[in-house]
Amino acid sequence: MSSTPVDRHDAGPDPCGQFETERLFLRSMLESSPDYIYFKDTQSRFLRINLALARYFGLNDPSEAEGKTDFDFYPEEKAREQWEDELCIMESGTPVTDKVERQVRAGGKVVWVLTSKAKLCDREGRMVGTFGISRDITLLKEMEDTLWNERNLLRNVIDHVPDFIFAKDREGRYTLSNLALARFFRKNTPDEILGKTLFDLFPKEIAESSRADDQVVLEERKPVFNKVGSLAANYWFSTTKIPLFNTSGKVAGLVAISRDITEEKRAQHALEQANADLMRSQEALMRALEQLRAVQLELIEAEKMKLVGRLAAGVAHEVKNPLAIITMGLGYLKRVRFEDPNVDTVLTEIGSAVERADAVIRELLDFSAPKKLNLEPHDINQLVRHALVLVRGEFGSHHVKVVEELGEELPPVRLDTLKIEQVLVNLFTNAAHAMENGGTLTVRTSTRQVTGVGENIAPADGLRVGARLVTIDVCDTGPGIPAALLGKVFEPFFTTKPTGQGTGLGLTVTKTIIDLHGGSIEIRNRAGGGACVSVVFNAETESTT
Amino acid sequence: MNKILIIDDEAGFTRLMKLTLQQVGGYEVFEENDGSKAWETARQVQPDLILLDIVMPGMDGGDVAAKIRGDGALAHIPIVFLSAIVSEKDPIPDGLIGGFPFISKPVSLDALIQCIRQHLPAAQQA
């Protein structure tokens, strides 16, 4: 065995035992170090190896390696690579540092080692060989591979999901981004976004809004889930941001995922639109249904009235014949002289009863018969004056004073003069009858324009803002109508007159005629006593039947 | 004496009218309650005026009036419709129906006499 620099202690005296001490240190290190340590001569023959390397080579004792080379322990290719490294060190004096080497052990097991090598010199500084130290880093290498694989997997996921995935530091600089986000910003790679902030990439308004969201996550240290916002015109995103904590528990930034929900939003919008359309259709349908119901009721009513008309006509014919016989009989009897002085009274009563029955039949026919109006533009005041003349007799017998307050420049109203005259005569007669002990009848006419302010104008009324209305008020100073009965005055066969004095059809016929003219009629009690009837015509009503 | 022919299916009415007009005096009154026999009766009676109901079973007033008007021997006789007829659509006021004078039942004796006098040919006026 040749002497080596490692165990040479014959170089001179060692009075202080320094060499001995260092030798001990070296031996301890060689025996206990888990790293592989060797010393070689200039021929790359092992001068000394440590216990760990001996075990690696499968030797029982390190001394068994002395004089052997790497070609005795490694496959030739590997041994040659190491020999060339050593040659290079010896020629250049430059060490090999931290070289990662792959080695295949007997049985095929792959081992990774980290090797550093340098030249070995004697006391005079002459190069006498090389030495090296290798550390088994197989475990570390495997961990590194696992880590790389995981990172690669994660990167693949991040880059291939269609959502935007990104992370930012506390200053708002992107520290991670993915391909989807890069494409959104028209960049080639995700790395082109790194280091930029929202303000580098978005218009100021959007950047500020998004930054404010980031601040909430960073300051409150709480995630924000599925916040919907617009990153660009007509583009909608749902974003979840989660704070990123460093090892000391401080918020270092945030990580976020943003999903493009534009299509969902559009679909939702379309759905809402469709819903609204549906609601509108439904409302229109309901209105149509209501109108249909109203028309149906009107038709039923019209059919009923037709039936009543037929019935009334039939009854009228059958009743009028006996009345004709009674009337003729009365005519006969009135010409006969009777001894009984009461016969005249009896005959007069019978006569007035027949007249009343005949009047009821006439009004019943009037009420039930469909009307055809003969509409012509007419001056309301003229009609009022004429009707007042017709009932002059009634006023005289009831001691009624008439006050005319007829408005000037009333617009002409299209109406059937005979029917409206009938209405006015009816209203005046009712008023006169209400003032048994005399009183004042005030007839007032006026005109006004529909302003729409404070007025309840239904389209069905045929009124519009700007339309001219003409009103006739007929007011008496009688006792008025009991409040409970006010709502019934237009009902058929309702009357406040004593039995036998009213048919109960007068106001019903009146209302029917006014309705046919497209007008309105209302009756109310006056504050100062008496009743007041108001009839309103639309001066613009074109025609009605 | 004016001859009045009353054609009406209401026998009670024609009977009373006959009595009344006779009581008034100046009229000879003939009754016919069957529309289908009215033309024959008119031919026999040769009245100065005919009071004619409209609604009658068998032959109604309209047909009777047409037949009389179509008969050269009767065509000159004035006809007055006297009826309780009412239309489904409208009550018929006194006036004209189909060119004939019309008065509605019930009618007072005074109104009836006035009507008869109005339509009797001038030569027959009492």
Digit-coded pLDDT (tens) for B35-68: 999 999 999 999 999 999 988 888 888 889 999 9
Q: How confident is the model at residue A390 (pLDDT cuts 50, 70, 90)?
A: confident
Among candidates A320, A335, A370 on the partner chain, residue whose Cβ is nearest the Cβ of B84 = A320
CA distance B90 to chain A (A): 6
Query: Which residues from B are below 8 Å from A309, CB to CB?
Result: 88-89
Query: Which residues from B are below 8 Å from A331, CB to CB?
Result: 20, 108-110, 112
CA distance B123 to chain A (A): 27
pLDDT, chain A, mean: 85
- Cβ contact, residue pair A335, B89, below 8 Å: no
In order of A35, A37, A53, A116, the CA distances from A31 in angstroms are 10, 10, 10, 19
Query: Which residues from B are below 8 Å from A316, CB to CB?
Result: 84, 86, 91
Tokens coding A510: 């009146």
Query: Which residues from A are below 8 Å from B89, CB to CB?
Result: 309, 369-370
% of chain B with per-residue pLDDT over 70? 86
Does A356 lie at the interface with B, CB-CB under 8 angstroms?
no
Interface size A-B, in CB pairs within 8 Å, comes to 83
d(C-alpha A436, C-alpha A439), whole Å:
8
pLDDT at A454 over 60: no
**What is the mean pLDDT of the segment spanning A296-318?**
76
For residue A250, what pLDDT is reported?
93
Over the stretch B29-39, which tens digit does the pLDDT of each residue have?
A: 999 999 999 99
Does B20 lie at the interface with A, CB-CB under 8 angstroms?
yes
* Residue bearing the bigger pLDDT, A419 or A371: A419
Over the stretch A96-146, which tens digit does the pLDDT of each residue have?
A: 999 999 888 778 888 999 999 999 998 898 999 999 999 999 999 999 999
Which of A13-27, A300-314, A320-334, A416-430 comes out lowest in average pLDDT? Answer: A300-314
* Residue bearing the bigger pLDDT, A299 or A272: A272
% of chain A with per-residue pLDDT over 70? 89
For residue A452, what pLDDT is reported?
64
B114: Cβ–Cβ under 8 A, 6 or more apart, which residues?
Answer: none
A445: Cβ–Cβ under 8 A, 6 or more apart, which residues?
Answer: A380, A381, A384, A405, A406, A407, A410, A470, A471, A472, A473
For residue A164, what pLDDT is reported?
93
For residue A453, what pLDDT is reported?
56
What's the farthest any 2 CA atoms get from each other in chain B? 41
Tokens coding A88: 């290079």
Tell me which of A305, A327, A335, A363 to substitute to probe the interface with B (most B C-beta atoms closer than 10 Å): A327
Among candidates B13, B17, B90 on the partner chain, residue whose Cβ is nearest the Cβ of A321 = B13
Does B95 lie at the interface with A, CB-CB under 8 angstroms?
no
Q: What are phi and psi of A479, to 5 degrees?
A: -80, -5
CA distance A329 to chain B (A): 6
Query: Which residues from A are below 8 Å from B105, CB to CB?
Result: 320-321, 323-324, 327
Which of A109-123, A228-242, A291-305, A347-361 comes out lowest in average pLDDT? Answer: A291-305
d(C-alpha A221, C-alpha A241), whole Å:
10
- Cβ contact, residue pair B108, A317, below 8 Å: no
* Residue bearing the bigger pLDDT, A393 or A172: A172
Over the stretch A503-541, which tens digit does the pLDDT of each residue have?
A: 666 788 888 888 888 888 999 998 888 999 999 998 864
Query: Which residues from A are below 8 Å from B114, CB to CB?
Result: none
- Cβ contact, residue pair B86, A316, below 8 Å: yes
Query: Which residues from A are below 8 Å from B115, CB to CB?
Result: none
Q: How confident is the model at residue A61 (pLDDT cuts 50, 70, 90)?
A: very high
Over the stretch A148-195, which tens digit does the pLDDT of each residue have?
A: 999 999 999 998 999 999 999 999 999 999 999 999 889 999 999 999
Q: How confident is the model at residue B116 (pLDDT cuts 50, 70, 90)?
A: very high
pLDDT at A496 over 70: no
- Cβ contact, residue pair A324, B19, below 8 Å: no
A26, containing H or E segment: helix A18-32
Among candidates A310, A317, A332 on the partner chain, residue whose Cβ is nearest the Cβ of B19 = A332
Tokens coding B72: 């050269």
Query: Which residues from B are below 8 Å from A363, CB to CB?
Result: none
| Cis geometry, peptide bond prior to residue B106 (ω within 30 degrees of 0) | yes
For residue A463, what pLDDT is reported?
60
Q: What is the pTM of this model?
A: 0.44
